[in-house]
Amino acid sequence: MSNETVSGDAFENLLREERKFAPSEAFAAAANVHADIYAEADSDRLAFWAKQARTHLTWSKDFTETLDWSDAPFAKWFVGGEVNAAYNALDRHVENGLGDRVAIHFEGEPGDTETITYADLTERVKRAANAFEALGVAKGDRVAVYLPMIPEAVVTMLACARIGAVHSVVFGGFSAEALRSRIDDAEAKLVVTADGTFRRGKPSALKPAVDEALAEDGHTVRHVVVVERNKQEVAWTDGRDLRWSEVMEAASPEHTAVGHDSEHPLFILYTSGTTGKPKGILHTTGGYLAQTAFTHSAVFDLKPETDVYWCTADIGWVTGHSYVTYAPLVNGATQVMYEGTPDSPHQGRWWEIVEKYKVSILYTAPTAIRTMMKWGSDIPAKYNLSSIRVLGSVGEPINPEAWMWYRDVIGGGQAPIVDTWWQTETGAIMVAPLPGVTATKPGSAQVPLPGIAVDVVDEAGQSVPDGHGGFLVIREPWPAMLRTIWGDPERFKDTYWSRFDGMYFAGDGAKKDDDGDIWLLGRVDDVMNVSGHRLSTTEIESALVSHPWVAEAAVVGAADETTGQAVVAFVILRGEADLPTGENAASEIVLTLRNHVGHEIGPIAKPRHILVVPELPKTRSGKIMRRLLKDVAEGRDPGDATTLADPSVMHKIAQDLRK
């Protein structure tokens, strides 16, 4: 079977990419880090991380040991050190005379704005820290955060970190049930929420979900603090519910931060749930802050004095934790925070924001880029995007054509793109180009960061040679690594450390190209086996997106009696595409796209069926849910669709197929 034909590789190496973009000389010369950083990290990995920890953070007490791995896979980083996350993100900048620097340019969906300096933010966090303490929240207690993308979300997280309380942010789009299960799992004492937010110009409630979550007894919550954001009417439980404005007004603006142990828990965050039941990932303080701050500076080439940084991720995802709340503030950056959807009130809203604040570093997800591609290049073309100098991508593999569109249309053909691979579990970026060093390749995350030991291995855990595919693993502990799954150390060992001896494995397939650069190929659970050939969903999707008619594609393997599995593709067409018309247009599109895949990859990869659909099912973090498409492709009723961002999508697809 496949093992003989592909010599143990998890994937065949199919798609070729020849394009390469070296950084300009000027960019390279002015970059925060240079090529020698790899050699420095290689020569002494632990010394390298100790240096980053001391460079990017102010320690209340210096650490005595960089890594204690004696109880592997339970790591301790920067042992004996004490550090306060909020002090590092706030007070020290004010003490250094940067109190007037803008920390957050907040842009509400209805168009209201707020400019928050480091001095303002520090005061707000001090008040919130006092307020939470007054409500009985002590060091080590858990606080559930169920808020929209508003400054109070950052204030709440940092206030928790300041007093050593552990936040558990639950994405505001999740149901009452999901919220309750996370409150129970973490035994949260306090919930911070808002009356509601705005979605596509309309008020959208949040508080009712909290009320519903807490309706049944048996929970641990004593108080609910409610931010008045959209001013909609909400039910009130006297004694339990408190208004944010009143609580903060009553609290003192003075609060002294003390250092917490480097291994003190900072937060719990549940994974997206793309592949199964979400896991409560635990991150601690010192290592997490050191790696997020270092990567934010090195990967985005952040110049805190001049850059305006915007990460579009919601606070409910790990990207919103590491690269909205923590790293940018620890690094003293000025950032944009936007509450709403990209198409409200019009499809140019993001680009209007970039123009308005002169955003210079933009960090977003492939799903957003492909959506913008579908809407058409004429929309961003109406805005002045010349301030942009670095572009980032995270969350899924970015198809080479989406990468090229991002570079040309948003980055003016100039800005380097950093495709960053990482996970909730890794806490910080692990594989990414360095914008002033790496000649970037469309679609590839390319290189493990300095000090990070990522490899691609075969079934037996042997490193694969260049030009081959396999499983992405991490060979050495890293500072921002998860420490455990909350309350379930056995599941932590089973899930991540049992597949390959002594290595971390979290489910992604990858290949090394002929230059040794790393390409992410999708979840190993999604690998297709067609007549003994193991094909990657990502590569076939990228081949489809490389056709000018296609904006987005999702590929699944459907059971097939003769070939084992057959490739079935779902595609969304581009708004501006010059499509065939007339009676046979539909079959002409399908035939053209099938042949295109055959040409790009090879006949084996040609989809058996191609279905043109209006939307694809996605999780709330924007990842395609292939599991549901597989149900459709195999003629079953789609299974549990409750974690979809838009549950009606599956209905639309099913309707379309019946036509």
Residue ranges binding ligand ATP (CB under 6 A): 271-276, 278, 317-318, 394-397, 419-421, 423-424, 445, 506, 508, 520, 523, 621, 623
Go through 581-618 and write b for each residue having 16 or more CB atoms within 10 A of its CB, e for each that does not: eeeeeeeebbeebbebbeebbeebbbbbebbbbebbbb
Angstrom distance (rounded) from CA 296 to CA 253:
30
Which CB atom, from 318 or from 361, has the smaller least distance to ligand ATP? 318
Q: How would you classify the pairing of strands 518-523 and 82-83?
A: unpaired
- Asked whether residue 347 is marked as a ligand-binding residue, the answer is no
- Asked whether residue 360 is marked as a ligand-binding residue, the answer is no
Tell me which of ligand ATP, Mg ion, none is bound by residue 520, counting a contact when its beta carbon lies within the kind-specific cut-off of 5 to 8 angstroms. ligand ATP
User: Are 434 and 445 spatial neighbours (Cβ–Cβ below 8 Å)?
Assistant: no
Q: How would you classify the pairing of strands 223-227 and 241-243?
A: parallel
Which CB atom, from 271 or from 546, has the smaller least distance to Mg ion? 271
Which CB atom, from 182 or from 189, has the smaller least distance to ligand ATP? 182
Angstrom distance (rounded) from CA 415 to CA 392:
10
Measured CA to CA in angstroms, residue 72 lies from 68, 290, 345, 347, 644 at distances of 9, 20, 51, 49, 36
Which helix (H) or strand (E) covers residue 484, if one does? Answer: strand 484-485
The radius of gyration computed from the CA coordinates of the chain, to the nearest angstrom, equals 24
> Taking the complex as a whole, how short is the minimal distance between the CB of residue 16 and ligand ATP, in angstroms?
18
Site for Mg ion in 246-275 (CB under 5 A): 271
- Asked whether residue 389 is marked as a ligand-binding residue, the answer is no
Go through 32-70 and write b for each residue having 16 or more CB atoms within 10 A of its CB, e for each that does not: bbeeebbebbeeebbebbbbbbeebbebeeebeebbbee
Which CB atom, from 320 or from 332, has the smaller least distance to ligand ATP? 320
- Asked whether residue 199 is marked as a ligand-binding residue, the answer is yes
Nearest residue to Mg ion on Cβ basis: 271
Tell me which of ligand ATP, Mg ion, none is bound by residue 285, counting a contact when its beta carbon lies within the kind-specific cut-off of 5 to 8 angstroms. none
603: Cα separation from own chain's centroid: 34
> Taking the complex as a whole, how short is the minimal distance between the CB of residue 276 and ligand ATP, in angstroms?
6
Which CB atom, from 231 or from 277, has the smaller least distance to Mg ion? 277
- Asked whether residue 536 is marked as a ligand-binding residue, the answer is no
User: With contacts defined by CB under 5 A, how many residues of the chain interact with Mg ion?
Assistant: 1
Angstrom distance (rounded) from CA 508 to CA 275:
11
Tell me which of Mg ion, ligand ATP, none is bound by residue 168, counting a contact when its beta carbon lies within the kind-specific cut-off of 5 to 8 angstroms. none
Tell me which of ligand ATP, Mg ion, none is bound by residue 297, counting a contact when its beta carbon lies within the kind-specific cut-off of 5 to 8 angstroms. none
- Asked whether residue 145 is marked as a ligand-binding residue, the answer is no
Phi, psi of 67 (to 5 degrees): -140, 130
> Taking the complex as a whole, how short is the minimal distance between the CB of residue 468 and Mg ion, in angstroms?
23
User: Are 146 and 179 spatial neighbours (Cβ–Cβ below 8 Å)?
Assistant: yes
> Taking the complex as a whole, how short is the minimal distance between the CB of residue 555 and ligand ATP, in angstroms?
15
> Taking the complex as a whole, how short is the minimal distance between the CB of residue 309 and ligand ATP, in angstroms?
18
> Taking the complex as a whole, how short is the minimal distance between the CB of residue 521 and ligand ATP, in angstroms?
8
User: Are 19 and 442 spatial neighbours (Cβ–Cβ below 8 Å)?
Assistant: yes
Number of Cβ within a 10 Å radius of residue 22: 12
- Asked whether residue 201 is marked as a ligand-binding residue, the answer is yes
Measured CA to CA in angstroms, residue 110 lies from 57, 193, 520 at distances of 37, 19, 38
- Asked whether residue 71 is marked as a ligand-binding residue, the answer is no
Amino acid identity, residue 606?
K
Which CB atom, from 162 or from 167, has the smaller least distance to ligand ATP? 167
Which CB atom, from 459 or from 525, has the smaller least distance to Mg ion? 525
> Taking the complex as a whole, how short is the minimal distance between the CB of residue 274 and ligand ATP, in angstroms?
3
> Taking the complex as a whole, how short is the minimal distance between the CB of residue 453 and ligand ATP, in angstroms?
17
> Taking the complex as a whole, how short is the minimal distance between the CB of residue 621 and ligand ATP, in angstroms?
6
Tell me which of ligand ATP, Mg ion, none is bound by residue 566, counting a contact when its beta carbon lies within the kind-specific cut-off of 5 to 8 angstroms. none
- Asked whether residue 421 is marked as a ligand-binding residue, the answer is yes
How does DSSP classify residue 398?
A: P
Tell me which of Mg ion, ligand ATP, none is bound by residue 328, counting a contact when its beta carbon lies within the kind-specific cut-off of 5 to 8 angstroms. none
Per-residue binding letters, 271-300, with Mg ion (x by CB under 5 A): x-----------------------------
- Asked whether residue 319 is marked as a ligand-binding residue, the answer is yes
Burial of 431 (0-12, 13-18, 19+ CB in 10 A): buried
Which CB atom, from 130 or from 621, has the smaller least distance to ligand ATP? 621
Angstrom distance (rounded) from CA 67 to CA 46:
7
DSSP string covering 27-70: HHHH-SS-THHHHHHHH-HHHHHHHHHHHH---SB--SEEEEEE
- Asked whether residue 66 is marked as a ligand-binding residue, the answer is no
Angstrom distance (rounded) from CA 618 to CA 272:
11
> Taking the complex as a whole, how short is the minimal distance between the CB of residue 507 and ligand ATP, in angstroms?
6
Which CB atom, from 2 or from 444, has the smaller least distance to ligand ATP? 444
- Asked whether residue 350 is marked as a ligand-binding residue, the answer is no
Tell me which of ligand ATP, Mg ion, none is bound by residue 278, counting a contact when its beta carbon lies within the kind-specific cut-off of 5 to 8 angstroms. ligand ATP
Which CB atom, from 162 or from 523, has the smaller least distance to ligand ATP? 523
> Taking the complex as a whole, how short is the minimal distance between the CB of residue 269 and Mg ion, in angstroms?
12
- Asked whether residue 534 is marked as a ligand-binding residue, the answer is yes
Tell me which of ligand ATP, Mg ion, none is bound by residue 331, counting a contact when its beta carbon lies within the kind-specific cut-off of 5 to 8 angstroms. none
Which CB atom, from 276 or from 487, has the smaller least distance to Mg ion? 276
> Taking the complex as a whole, how short is the minimal distance between the CB of residue 644 and Mg ion, in angstroms?
17
Paired strand residues for 509 = 471, 522
Number of Cβ within a 10 Å radius of residue 156: 29
User: Are 400 and 371 spatial neighbours (Cβ–Cβ below 8 Å)?
Assistant: no
Which CB atom, from 271 or from 291, has the smaller least distance to ligand ATP? 271
- Asked whether residue 424 is marked as a ligand-binding residue, the answer is yes
Tell me which of ligand ATP, Mg ion, none is bound by residue 570, counting a contact when its beta carbon lies within the kind-specific cut-off of 5 to 8 angstroms. none
Cα 34-35-40 angle, rounded to 5 deg: 100
Question: Which residues contribute to the annotated binding site for CoA?
Answer: 199-202, 319, 531
Question: Which residues contribute to the annotated binding site for ATP?
Answer: 395-397, 419-424, 508, 523, 534
Question: Which residues contribute to the annotated binding site?
Answer: 199-202, 319, 395-397, 419-424, 508, 523, 531, 534, 545, 547, 550
Binding site for Mg ion (CB under 5 A): 271
Question: Which residues contribute to the annotated binding site for Mg(2+)?
Answer: 545, 547, 550
